[in-house]
Chains A and B, each alone.
Chain A
Amino acid sequence: MTVVVLTPGDTGFARDLRAALLDLDVDPVLAEPRTTDRRELRDAFARAKGGAVVHVCGDAAATVPAPLGETGPEEWDRRGERPLREALATFQAAHDHFAAAGGGRLVLVTSTAGISGAASVVPFVAAAEGVRAMAKSAARQWGERSITVNAVLVPLALLAPGAAGVTSFLTPPALGAPATLHDVAAAVRWFTGADSTGITGATVVADGGAVMAP
């Protein structure tokens, strides 16, 4: 069974996603504490003997609603640039680990708000769409090393329930009910499993059909 390492592992979403993955017979490990140190992350992936790394971009700290005009430089960095640096460190560490292992699966989980936009969380929205472009670039560069990189986009309400109101403009999900952690875990499992080895650079929107833009 593929060991799936979740990073950063210190958020409520990561813990909930771990539980949902356990229900799907996946072997998930939380990477804690949160760090942007590439070597620490690489060692954590090696210790876990991870065949897949799932990086989550977006949490309560990154999605505190505030107008951009009232967002100071420290908040801008914490909510906009730091999530990108965290992703970069995770991607690089995953590359090191997977390259040594002859391949691996990297999955990005972030919010559909990067596609739809959202007022009052502009720094995070920028990070969400930036990290998706980073994932596609990594997919293009690392495919020759048998490393796949894909993305699962989820409603902001799942990543940061306190910020869910800023995406209230979205149309209701076509399937009626909002997406659940089980839906997200199922998409993550598919991207870390044997049936998707030929897929890279892809984005799956796991939100029940609310956001349908490319």
Chain B
Amino acid sequence: MTGDRILAGRGVLVTGGAAGVGRGIALACGVAGAHVVVASRGDNGRAVVDDITGRGGDATWVRCDVTVRDDVTHAVAQAVERAGGLHAVVHNATSNQSSVPHRLEEVTHELWDDHASVSLRGAYHCAQAALPALRVTQGTMIVMTSPAGVEGSATLPLYATVKGALRGFAKGLAREWAPSGITVNVVSPLAFSPAMVNAIAEDPAMEERLNRRVPLGRVGDPETDVGAAVAFLLSPDAGYVTGQTIGIDGGHFMNL
């Protein structure tokens, strides 16, 4: 390991990597020396690749809808080909409806499937597609959760449900994959996402309220706070960490 390039020579696939926390993770992994495969449904993943390569890093964009098994299989194949191996998968993609408030009694089949297909079925697709490659590298997988997944949510019950399910998914997989030397963890971030930025634009006092609730006094940065911590978790130095939920949130949530 040299300097801060703790991911040098490693291939990292980030789903939902075009914006917000996913973009921050992709950028941080690029800085840390990984070949980053930015997977996104829209073309906006290209801009993230440009940002990474513009800083001297290596990155590839793949169009990937995680609800489509073949898309995920293709993304993994691209990572193996372009990076020379897949060492880590970060499943960050969530439904576009994730931050839209709803009542549990009003949830429709369509809304349920929208949440479940991206977060939960997407995780299943990622795990299945990546397992052969992760066995080769004794790699790692991270799924992104939220405090809502731990303590429920008064405004986003479906988001809470799938994020809670991802915690169970990761703990089960951590036990299942441990004999193969593959680690699986869960990250619960608090950082500026596009949804949060929009919400603050509509309610400028929201940022101050948030800052007051966070022991460290500020909302995190997707790249320098969350991304940097995720890069560490993907590095060999975190090779004995598995099955854990790690809050990267300025101390906002301490109830684990």
Question: A residues within 8 Å of B by Cβ?
Answer: 67-69, 71, 73, 76, 80-81, 84-85, 88, 91-92, 95-96, 99, 113-123, 125-142, 169, 201, 214
Contacts and interface: CB of A to CB of B under 8 A. Distances in A.
Cβ-closest 6 pairs across A and B? A133-B164, A136-B152, A130-B165, A129-B168, A117-B171, A137-B157
> Interface of chain B, helix or strand or loop or mixed?
helix
A67 to B, nearest CB: 6
Interface string B132-160: 00000000000000001111111011001
Interface in B87-132: 103-105, 107, 112, 116, 120-121, 124, 127-128, 131
B127 to A, nearest CB: 6
Given A134-B104, A134-B160, A80 B176 contact: no
B120 A122 contact: no
A85 B161 CA distance: 11
Interface residues of B, number: 43
Nearest to A67: B176
A91 B104 contact: yes
A126 B175 contact: no
B169 interface: yes
B171 A76 contact: no
B112 A134 contact: no
6 contacts: A69-B131, A122-B172, A125-B169, A137-B156, A140-B157, A142-B105
B230 interface: no
Contact of B168 (A126, A139, A169): A126
A42 to B, nearest CB: 11
Contact of B121 (A69, A76, A116): A76
B148 A214 contact: no
Contact of B105 (A68, A71, A76, A92): A92
A141 B104 contact: yes
Contact of A81 (B103, B116, B166, B176): B116
A99 B167 CA distance: 31
Contact of B173 (A68, A137, A140, A141): A68
Contacts of B149: 133
